[in-house]
Structure 1
């Protein structure tokens, strides 16, 4: 009887151990499934009731700018703030700062140098993809994806240009980005002080290696666009610094 109990306990322990190991393997394999690569249109960020402040380096170019590279799960949820032991370290991106200032500028108020923005993006999102890249690799990957997407050229080549008072259909904008990149984006709109819908952010999906655009497993829940979408120009948008 005693031997049977020991035998049963040994089998139970082995089963429990195997279950724990399986869960451990699954948790490692499911760090995340894909990335959202998100770019924003600066003029639309500024031309809203919230307004904006230009960075200390000056008014950004009239081009899409990076918002972030965000790990996500196929079910629409996402990990965040995954490693508090690996905070943002400016020294690791010091020789990238001129590129980041150009392609990943901050528009938040008060006017800043970008460090707070980049710190937030790395600590909230980048630390959840440490199996793919380190801090420097995170920012390098985002910069490479912006160049690869080249959203402004894709739109302008199709005659979709930032002109105040000119509207386009949502399908026009989506179709041209899809043609250029190969996969449909999610378009998020915001509204200007007059209540007009304007092109605000473009979400594109990227594989788990952060190198190739893919078909989105799931689209985010952003602000919907109306039938007419304005592609706002910086000529009408002002920063709080100019007011």
Structure 2
């Protein structure tokens, strides 16, 4: 794992993988709960993005856009940790705890590296405003993760740890599926490689024959489970039998340490 930073190693070998304490000094509490018309979620879905596909059509570059990094990114990045129902629907905007970047200050290095946005714009939140990508993810999805998470610090920390523990990029590379602008790989082979490593069936989404998103699903205790929709395994969406993992080509040479903002939201 040559690409893992000291920050990553610290997270992986911390005394508690997910740090699910009842109260945390950085958390305000009141992160979420079941709101009228929405029941408690059934499972977690970890959504990952492939930069080589996401950034392919980038035309406008700015310092806040992850597609404008000065060095190539050859690994999946986090889109979000979402709360879903088994029937294919999901809760959203479950609490009044608005995102506060000060709550996740100790995590900013990891968030910027593993959870960037791929746009120059801001995104909508659950409270009528617009803000950071992370604000959208916390307010729309994170607040619905109660009672597993009661504050944003633990929500973001656990998501990064989950991403690092189930390192999909490394799994694919170990099985010969490397970033390439010329090669195409069997979709079934990619799915099988992930199934063998994770012990659960993923979902893949493609655009123009290239892998764009990959989903891993977990029970509330973070044990892997098959991703299902309406009772059926769904291993691909708009993916052909052979798919590509295009190399990421930076749109510009901009470099920044400030948080990136979001692209369009899938959910």
Query: Shorter-chain TM-score category?
Result: 0.7 to 0.9
1:73 maps to: 85
Query: Which whole-Å deviations, capped at 9, do the CAs of 1:121-180 have from their partners, x for residues lacking one?
Result: 000000111211121111011111111111111101111100111000110111111111
Shift of 1:230: 0.8
User: What is residue 41 of structure 2 aligned with on the other side?
Assistant: 32
How far 1:215 moved relative to its partner? 2.0
Is the 1:51–1:240 Cα contact (8 Å) retained in structure 2?
no
Q: How many residues align?
A: 206
Q: List alignment gaps of at least 5 residues for structure 1.
A: 1-24, 192-196
Runs (4+) of structure 1 exceeding 3 A deviation are: 27-30, 48-60, 219-223
- Counterpart-to-counterpart distance in 2, 1:177 and 1:51: 34
Give how far 1:190 is off: 1.2
d(CA) in 1 for partners of 2:148, 2:216: 18
Q: Deviations over 1:62-98 (max 9, x none)?
A: 2110000000111111001111x20001111001000
Q: Is the 8 A contact 2:72 2:250 kept in 1?
A: no
Q: Which has the higher helix share?
A: 1
User: TM-score if structure 1 supplies the norm length?
Assistant: 0.76
Match of 1:150 among 167, 175, 184: 167
SS in 1 for 2:108: helix
Which one of the candidate residues 104, 119, 123 is aligned to 1:108? 119
Distance 1:52 1:76, change over 3 A: farther
**Where do 1:49-198 residues align within 5 Å?**
54-55=65-66, 58-59=70-71, 61-83=73-95, 85-110=96-121, 116-133=132-149, 134-191=151-208, 197-198=209-210
Consecutive unaligned residues of structure 2, counting only runs of 5 or more, are 1-33, 124-130, 255-267
Contact 2:201 2:235 in 1 (8 A): no
